């Protein structure tokens, strides 16, 4: 993702070698779901998702460490995000 650290928005990019389901969620440092950014079918190629540091209810989240988890087919990727206000 870029930028990282970020405030107030970060961009997450992912690519699919074949069309299929993708799910991208953001979790806090305690492992609790903060926001589901992507959950659906995607075509082959590169995709971009922006996260504006809000939770699933539209509330701004606190500064700190977050993780995003991308699931595509049988692949799972997890990376750190740092929100600095």
This prediction's pTM = 0.93
Instruction: Tell me the helix, strand and coil percentages in the chain, rounded to 5.
Output: 0, 65, 35
Mean pLDDT within 12-40: 96
Element spanning 66, H or E:
strand 64-72
User: How much is the pLDDT for 74?
Assistant: 84
Q: Angle 61-12-79 (CA atoms, 0-180°, nearest 5)?
A: 75
Rounded-to-integer distance, Cα 9 and Cα 45, Å: 23
Give percent above pLDDT 70 in the chain.
Answer: 100
| Mean pLDDT of the 27-31 span | 97
pLDDT per residue as tens digits for the range 43-82: 999 999 999 999 999 999 999 999 999 999 889 999 999 9
Q: Which domains does the chain have, with CATH numbers?
A: 10-83 (2.60.40.4070)
């Amino acid at each position: 993702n870029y930028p990282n650290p970020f405030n107030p928005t970060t961009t997450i990019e992912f690519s699919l070698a074949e069309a299929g389901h993708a799910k991208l969620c953001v979790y806090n440092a305690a492992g609790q779901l903060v926001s589901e950014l992507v959950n659906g079918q995607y075509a082959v190629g590169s995709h971009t998702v922006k996260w504006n540091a809000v939770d699933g209810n539209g509330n701004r989240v606190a500064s700190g460490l977050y993780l995003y988890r991308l699931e595509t087919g049988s692949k799972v990727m997890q990376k750190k995000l740092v929100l600095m206000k």
